Amino acid sequence: MQEINQNIAKHLKQQRQQKNWSLDRTANETGVSKAMLGQIERGESSPTITTLWKIATGFQLSLSSLIESSKEQNDSTVIRPVLEQHKYLADDKAPAPAIFPYDDRFGFEMFEFILEPGVERLSDPHRSGVTEHVIVISGTMELLIDGQWLTLASGEAIRFSADQSHGYRNLSEQAAVFHNIIHYAKVVSEV
């Protein structure tokens, strides 16, 4: 967790410097308070998933680009230890590194989450053009999409537009494990 917090602090500071944004401007763009941004940047705070999504959205970044220390820089085959990447999805915890962090060549990042019984997590809309693909590996979970909770069981998958409020919950008595592939539409700059 300490390595993740150091990466987040470093990437947040780099993004602010690249955009030449003050903490005030960053707070306005992300919806995260100036005080919290300062604590994150100094490595004094462990931000929640919700806070990281707000920062990523404000900077027009992928979530994993704030978390990962570096990207694979070649076209070779990449093997990553998924079991070490498991992460419990709850409001009070920050995300773990992605199974596959965001890469411009592919336009997506992939996470594996564990949703414990009784956990419900609501998510603010991501930026326009973000699509999530949820694949349930084991257990049963529910997704909030278009104001309705949809039940998904092991082996089922769904794709939805994540630029709307959505949520994840587990009303069963067993943990649910799911993969979440987050795809970012290419942003075309006007010339």
Query: What is the C-alpha to C-alpha distance for residues 19 and 61, in angstroms, rounded to an integer?
Result: 13
Domain range enclosing 23: 2-67
Q: pLDDT class for 67, splitting at 50, 70, 90? A: confident
Whether residue 88 sits in one domain with residue 153: yes
Query: The CATH number of the domain where 120 resides is what?
Result: 2.60.120.10
Percent of the chain scoring above 90 in pLDDT: 53
Q: Say if residue 13's pLDDT is above 50.
A: yes
- pTM attached to this predicted model: 0.78
Q: Which of 29-33, 48-52, 114-118 has the lowest mean pLDDT?
A: 48-52
| Beta-carbon-side half-sphere exposure of residue 134 (alpha carbons within 13 Å) | 27
pLDDT at residue 3 in the model: 75
Longest dimension (CA), the chain: 54
The answer to whether position 23 is within a domain reads yes
Q: How far is CA 153 from the centre of its chain?
A: 22
**Residue 62 maps to which CATH number?**
1.10.260.40
Identify the pLDDT of residue 190: 35
Task: Extract the tokens encoding 24.
Answer: 């005030």
The predicted-structure confidence for 82-131, as pLDDT tens digits, reads as follows: 655 556 555 445 556 688 888 888 999 998 888 889 999 888 898 899 99
Higher-confidence position of 2 and 36: 36
Name the domain boundary from 37, 67, 97: 67
